[in-house]
Chain A
């Protein structure tokens, strides 16, 4: 049994310690908002927060995730998340939507670290997240919009 703390709740998961966190989230905890895209840290679809950092859950073994504070898209509910969702809606970012949980998880960390990111900051912070539908231009706009919406 591995103890996981996800979105503020504690779980005991019966799985091998080398199993990636992604599968515990999706299959054991049924938190399917975190997506599988590549399984090798290339696409960012599986991005979650672990102790405040954006990590690729597809290559994070349960042994490393145990006891950490894990937040998934379902539990991302702070002010930054709200601003991001509002901006994503205003800019009509999602197309198929499959990458968007990961995009928002990555953007949330970016905004926490750089409340007013430049285009270069966005390139740097978001280049790990592939969007095959090509929503990049809108992601960029939405991040700027979310940044502007912050109350100083």
Chain B
């Protein structure tokens, strides 16, 4: 791998500006595979393994196989390595690793960032990687000093000897050459951690506050053109014919080429490409014409019939002597990830290789897809992972279509190209979180405890028909589609979870917290309904049914306590509670809510308790909880992708709204100290928020909000 090809972009720009006498048309090479500004190239480097480069200037570069999309993984992964390595944190720089099997996620068998899995899947491996580098430094120093390694220790980037001798890691780069990395290393006792578990400062803040961070969108390589693609207006549609005459007449437009997913207008820049596309004439052969009103009716009908059984305990149909019964329905819409950076990809296909610059969550897939299109070997396809301007799952796609489009265009025009998506392209581009319908039937005994619980989910599967089908599907049920419903933490003697596969009219995909994003809404609102039906306090009611789930019950207690559950609130305010396990983490939230005179929900505060086992960076965990709550509230208040005549109705942020600062609540996070199994933090903060808010609104209005997004006036039922 070539680490020294970076051109200092600022400097290059200045030079270019001077040389050009004002008109700047020069190109720059973006730092290859980089995410961060780095130190100048060092004269010598020691590479103890695929993840670490120790430079003679004492800087230590960490190559991170996980994509940085805001979740703080560059920092967290570096903490694991730096701590065991006894490195000096101020000397750490991080950059994206290339696509290579050395960086495969140990849990997934490929390079993929998702499932909130980075931290727990690397907890062992990267600490060992760091410890091994530390051992090499110690051995190098011992060799240099001609002393036994046993008399040496390491601290803050130096090896120290009992005699008082001291040498920096950078000065050991040469002595370390040829030393075999030890296979058996001892890891630190957690009490000796210096960076792990501490709110270490993020490594990427500077470049994210001065405009220097390079996202996929910012990449420019020599000779690169810009393309936008006219995709079918209806999912499943195809190009029948097109006329490019008018498009080509737009100044700047160079070529118009058809690719698998549509027609690409290639130009000297985005504006010209976009105008060219507006002038392009395409005749389409439409796919099935989905209509949201019809789909809702259909799903409702399906929900009334028995589905495939995902889980069965006792017999829900044989319950006798119930004192009360509830039969209700919940619904959630299709959702667009709406990551802040519209999708994009740069591809440079040549006879001898292909370079791809992309903010991707799935390097291995992109590499394979590009190899398939170009006929190159996977190792001839270089993936340069750029900073991701948000992702939430949208950039982890099994068909690799974002990269595939760019590769096909570059191949067709034999030039490097950046394919850019407008916000409208992105909003209307599919791969949505599924539309879902939920039938919930429950009954209570005379003591108020649940006797039976039936949760029937109707939604599409994005696993069936992919290589992950085998892993996900059991007895005809996509277990990812019903995740969260099948892990009911409440004691119910008769339990049944069922699934109907919904109509496959729209490409769907995981979105932050995946199945939990809708199952937790139905589950946590329904348990609240049961609590009120039983005449019990919803916190105490949940708690009384959770004996077998101590970690979950503990976060519930902590959240309730910290939120002052049961204490008086200012007039017009109420609290709602929800608790959910996902991605191996346990989270409870209490939302403090009021309703305005016009029926609009105001969320004042969300108190969040999380047990994710050992923590790497508590501040990152807090940031993820804050972000998750806002993400979930956006879905609860606004998120809705709907269809008419097969077309997506929404276009941009004016009709696909995102929560703004004036509506964002205060989020207070309490992290449980725990040595238990480690869990993720990027997603599990999402599921409890919407139900906690809906449950609070019920207290205020006596209306149950069973459909997302919530109505603009919550005093009215929908």
Contacts of A150 in B (CB 8 A): none
Contacts of A59 in B (CB 8 A): none
Residue of A nearest to B390 (CB): A96
**CB-contact partner of A135 in B25, B212, B623, under 8 A:** B623
Does A37 interact with chain B (Cβ within 8 Å)?
Answer: yes
Contacts of A98 in B (CB 8 A): 215, 339-341, 387, 389-390
Contacts of A20 in B (CB 8 A): 271
Question: Is A138's CB under 8 angstroms from B210's CB?
Answer: no
Instruction: State A100–B208 Cα separation when bound (angstroms).
Output: 7
With A45-B340, A94-B204, A98-B341 in contact, is A132–B658 under 8 Å at CB?
Answer: yes
Question: Is A38's CB under 8 angstroms from B653's CB?
Answer: yes
- Interface residues in B56-82 by Cβ distance below 8 A to A read 68-72
**CB-contact partner of A92 in B201, B213, B214, B338, under 8 A:** B201
With A85-B209, A89-B206, A96-B388 in contact, is A42–B654 under 8 Å at CB?
Answer: yes
With A23-B269, A40-B423, A136-B630 in contact, is A11–B22 under 8 Å at CB?
Answer: yes
Instruction: State A141–B390 Cα separation when bound (angstroms).
Output: 22
Instruction: State A122–B563 Cα separation when bound (angstroms).
Output: 26
Interface majority SS (helix, strand, loop, mixed), chain B: loop
Which 8 pairs across A and B sit closest by C-beta, in order of nearness? A33-B211, A134-B630, A97-B208, A98-B389, A96-B70, A95-B70, A73-B211, A42-B653
Minimum C-beta distance from A77 to chain B (A): 9
Instruction: State A139–B69 Cα separation when bound (angstroms).
Output: 18
Residue of A nearest to B17 (CB): A9
Residue of A nearest to B632 (CB): A134
Instruction: State A100–B390 Cα separation when bound (angstroms).
Output: 12
- Interface residues in B368-386 by Cβ distance below 8 A to A read none
Question: Is A133's CB under 8 angstroms from B217's CB?
Answer: no
Instruction: State A35–B422 Cα separation when bound (angstroms).
Output: 12
Does A57 interact with chain B (Cβ within 8 Å)?
Answer: no
Contacts of A19 in B (CB 8 A): 271
Q: 0/1 per residue, A82-97, Cβ < 8 Å to B?
A: 0011001100111111
Instruction: State A134–B270 Cα separation when bound (angstroms).
Output: 28
Q: Specify which of A40, A129, A136 lies most central, judged by the most chain B CB atoms within 10 Å of its CB.
A: A136
With A19-B271, A45-B340, A123-B661 in contact, is A36–B217 under 8 Å at CB?
Answer: yes
Contacts of A80 in B (CB 8 A): none
Question: Is A39's CB under 8 angstroms from B202's CB?
Answer: no
**CB-contact partner of A11 in B24, B69, B207, B212, under 8 A:** B24
Contacts of A72 in B (CB 8 A): 211
Question: Is B204's CB under 8 angstroms from A97's CB?
Answer: yes
Contacts of B211 in A (CB 8 A): 31-34, 72-74, 101
With A43-B340, A89-B209, A134-B626 in contact, is A38–B652 under 8 Å at CB?
Answer: yes
Other A-B contacts than A98-B339, A134-B627, 10 sampled, CB-CB below 8 A, are A12-B22, A26-B218, A27-B226, A30-B13, A31-B211, A35-B341, A73-B211, A88-B205, A136-B659, A138-B626
Minimum C-beta distance from A24 to chain B (A): 9
Instruction: State A27–B23 Cα separation when bound (angstroms).
Output: 12
**CB-contact partner of B658 in A97, A130, A135, under 8 A:** A130
Question: Is A97's CB under 8 angstroms from B660's CB?
Answer: no
Contacts of B71 in A (CB 8 A): 95
Residue of A nearest to B218 (CB): A32
* Contact residues on A (Cβ < 8 Å of other chain), bracket: 35 or more
Instruction: State A35–B17 Cα separation when bound (angstroms).
Output: 21
Does B628 interact with chain A (Cβ within 8 Å)?
Answer: yes
Residue of B nearest to A87 (CB): B209
Contacts of A140 in B (CB 8 A): 661
| Cross-chain pairs A/B with CB under 8 angstroms, 15 sampled | A30-B24, A32-B214, A35-B341, A39-B423, A95-B627, A96-B70, A97-B207, A97-B209, A100-B209, A127-B662, A131-B661, A132-B338, A134-B629, A136-B626, A136-B661
With A89-B201, A134-B627, A136-B664 in contact, is A39–B210 under 8 Å at CB?
Answer: no
Q: 0/1 per residue, A1-37, Cβ < 8 Å to B?
A: 0000000011111111001100100111111111111
Residue of B nearest to A62 (CB): B271
Does B667 interact with chain A (Cβ within 8 Å)?
Answer: yes
Question: Is B619's CB under 8 angstroms from A92's CB?
Answer: yes
Instruction: State A94–B339 Cα separation when bound (angstroms).
Output: 14
Q: Specify which of B204, B251, B654, B660 lies most central, judged by the most chain A CB atoms within 10 Å of its CB.
A: B660
Contacts of B205 in A (CB 8 A): 88-89, 92-94
Contacts of A34 in B (CB 8 A): 211
Contacts of B422 in A (CB 8 A): 39
Question: Is B340's CB under 8 angstroms from A99's CB?
Answer: yes
Question: Is A27's CB under 8 angstroms from B269's CB?
Answer: yes
Minimum C-beta distance from B253 to chain A (A): 13
Q: 0/1 per residue, B672-684, Cβ < 8 Å to A?
A: 0000000000000
